[in-house]
Amino acid sequence: PLPVLAVVGRPNVGKSTLVNRIIGRREAVVEDKPGVTRDRVNYEANWNGRRFTIVDTGGWEQDVLGIDASVAAQAEFAIQAADAVVFVVDSTVGATDTDEAVVRLLRKSGKPVVLAANKVDGQSGEADAAALWNLGLGEPHAVSSLHGRGTGDLLDAIMAAL
Ligand code: GDP
Ligand code: MG
């Protein structure tokens, strides 16, 4: 079986957009409204000839648990099934309490984590990305999943972790 990379994070941070960028297709469901990722969440991807399975998460955000509990629940589920995790944070928003809760789950799991500081669409966003060093997960990799900025470097970091 291929190594499994899980993509976790709050609703609307750009997880599905990042997955699309990595798989090179417009297949994962992207919406302005949170909570629309559903159905197939596993995709086959490859980078520099190394194949892996990438798991998009999301889609349970509007269930009865409420946002915090459901993000945590699906992150926990995805993390335990993964060999490595990409934790996506919206750098234009910064770290929220929900993000901090996911960080605790990630630490507890002991799995390798790559931090993606998303929505850095230009140079002016780099400072927002650097602020995410505070999460204690190592280097925040500044990316724009929408435009592709920084995603090559992110993939190199992912491959080193996977
Ligand atoms: P998810 O809920 O985490 O899967 O987030 P989505 O991938 O569905 O994206 C949520 C919204 O953020 C959509 O409107 C995306 O177009 C937007 N978005 C995602 N990545 C970026 C980015 O790098 N820059 C900007 N400006 N918007 C982004
Ligand atoms: Mg999504």
Residue 74 pLDDT > 70: yes
pLDDT at 76: 84
* Ligand 1 contact via 14 beta carbon (within 6 Å): yes
- Please state the rounded mean pLDDT for residues 30-34: 52
pTM (predicted TM-score): 0.91
Q: Is domain 4-161 classified as CATH 3.40.50.9100?
A: no
The residue whose CA has the least distance to atom 20 of ligand 1 is 14
Q: Is the ipTM of this complex over 0.95?
A: yes
Determine contact, residues 158/19, Cβ cutoff 8 Å: no
Token match 């919406």: residue?
31
Residue 15 pLDDT > 50: yes
pLDDT (tens digit, 9 = 90+) per residue, 75-97? 888 899 999 999 999 999 999 99
118 labelled binding-site residue: yes
